[in-house]
Structure 1
Amino acid sequence: MPFANIKVPQAALSTVQKEEIIHRITDIFVDYFSEAARPHTMVLIEEVPDGGYGRADEVFIIPEAYRAAN
């Protein structure tokens, strides 16, 4: 079963954007493995809360301007 795990900042994507990512990634797996992979493909989008990740010793908080409007 193809599996993709995507981690994004909490509230960065709208529901519609998450659905689009799921469909596109599924299509990519189908391109590689054939249409038989579609019903078995799992795409998991995990939202990481503010302060739950960082880069170069900097804890990241998503700016309000980048939050998705649901």
Structure 2
Amino acid sequence: MPLVNVKLIEGVFTPEQKREMIHRLTEAMVEIEGEALRQVTWVVVDEVKSGDWGVGGNGLTTADVHALQGRASAAA
């Protein structure tokens, strides 16, 4: 039934953070749709390769997002 698709740059969020996203997005949909649709609410997290995501004509990397978050990239 409902499908929530989340696109992220790879390596930005931890597995725990992605699980939390799935949980919270499901809860938000259940609040809107009702409890009966919980079991058929899908949340898909797609990770886009670092550098394959563009904003304003420029590629955005995992390191760029980590810099925006104010933390060092694990790849740096």
TM-score, normalised to structure 2, is 0.81
Residues 20-45 of structure 1: CA deviation (Å, up to 9, x unaligned): 00010000110011101100000000
Residue type of the partner of 2:2? P
Q: Distance in 2 between matches of 1:50 and 1:19?
A: 20
Residue type of the partner of 1:3? L
Share of identical aligned residues, percent? 33
Q: Distance in 1 between matches of 2:62 and 2:23?
A: 25
Unmatched 5+ stretches in structure 1: none
Unmatched 5+ stretches in structure 2: 67-71
Q: How many angstroms does 1:62 deviate by?
A: 1.7
Q: Distance in 1 between matches of 2:19 and 2:73?
A: 18
Aligned residues: 67
Alignment match, 1:25:
25
Alignment match, 1:34:
34
Alignment match, 1:50:
50
Q: Distance in 2 between matches of 1:3 and 1:55?
A: 25
The structure 1 segments of at least 4 consecutive aligned residues displaced by more than 6 Å after TM superposition are none
Structure of greater relative contact order (alpha carbons < 8 Å, 6+ residues apart): 1
Identify if the C-alpha distance between structure 1 residues 42 and 13 changes in structure 2 by more than 3 Å, giving closer, same or farther.
same
